[in-house]
Amino acid sequence: MRVLVADDQDLFRGGFAMILNAHEDISVVGEAADGAEAIAKAVELAPDLVLMDIRMPNVDGVAATAEICRRTSAKVLVLTMYDVDDHVYDALRAGASGFLLKDVRRDDLVRAVRLVAAGESLLAPSVTRRLIEDVVRRGSPRPALRRRLAELTDRELDTLRGLARGRSNSEIAAELVVSEHTVKTHVSNVLTKLHLRDRAQAVVFAYESGLVVAGTD
C-alpha cells in the first residue's frame, strides 16, 4: 500500500510516516508540507492513499482533497485537531473517505489507513450529525441527485439506506436477510451506478438526495 503524508508540521508528518513505514504492507512513498505540494506529489507518485492534514498553508486540505480526487484514484484520509472542525464536512464533500483526530493512537492510525485504502469509510457520529444538520438547514433534497436514485434496484436502495445509517455489511445483511457477499455486491453496484468513490460518498449522497430523511430511523 503506497501512502503520501501531507502535513505542514514536521513533527506530525515525520511521526505518521515512521509509524506507517514500520508495517510491511505499508510504504510511505512521499511527504508534503502544504496542499500544493500534496497535489503535485499525488499526481507524480500515484499513491493508494493520501493522509491529509485539513489545515495547511498555501492550498488547504479541503482544496487539495478536491483536486487529488479529481486528478487521481487515491483515497484521502483527512487529519484534524478537532472532531467538530467545520472543514471536515467540506473535505467529505470534496471526496475524502473519512477523517482522524491528530492525536490518534498508532494502532488506530494503521487500522484506519488499511480500512480506507480497502474502500471502507471512517465517519464519526459528530460528522454524520453535521451532515444531517446541513441537509435540514437547506430544507429540501437536490432534485438532480434524487433522479439518479432511479438507477438503483429496490435492494440497492435498501443497502444505500443502511450505509447512510452507519450499518456494517453484516448488519445490512441481517436486516435484508441476505448473505454478506450479496450485500458487498449491492454496495459495489451502488457505488458504480451513482459514480461514487466509496461508502463515505454514499452517505453524503443518501442524505443530499433525500433518500434518508433527517430525524427518521
**For position 14, what pLDDT does the model report?**
94
Question: What pLDDT digit, counting tens, does each position of 20-77 carry?
Answer: 999 999 999 999 999 999 999 999 999 999 999 998 988 999 999 999 999 999 999 9
Please identify which residue in the block is written with the cell numbers 456494517: 168
For residue 92, what are the CA distances in angstroms to 45, 69, 79, 182? 23, 11, 12, 27
**For position 12, what pLDDT does the model report?**
92
Pick the residue with more confidence: 210 or 192? 192
**For position 134, what pLDDT does the model report?**
64
Let me know: does 212 contact 202? Beta carbons within 8 Å.
Answer: no
C-alpha neighbours within 13 Å on the C-beta side of residue 192: 8
Question: What pLDDT digit, counting tens, does each position of 86-123 carry?
Answer: 677 788 888 888 888 888 889 989 998 998 888 777 76
- 197: pLDDT strictly greater than 80: yes
Question: What pLDDT digit, counting tens, does each position of 124-136 carry?
Answer: 656 666 666 665 5
**For position 133, what pLDDT does the model report?**
62
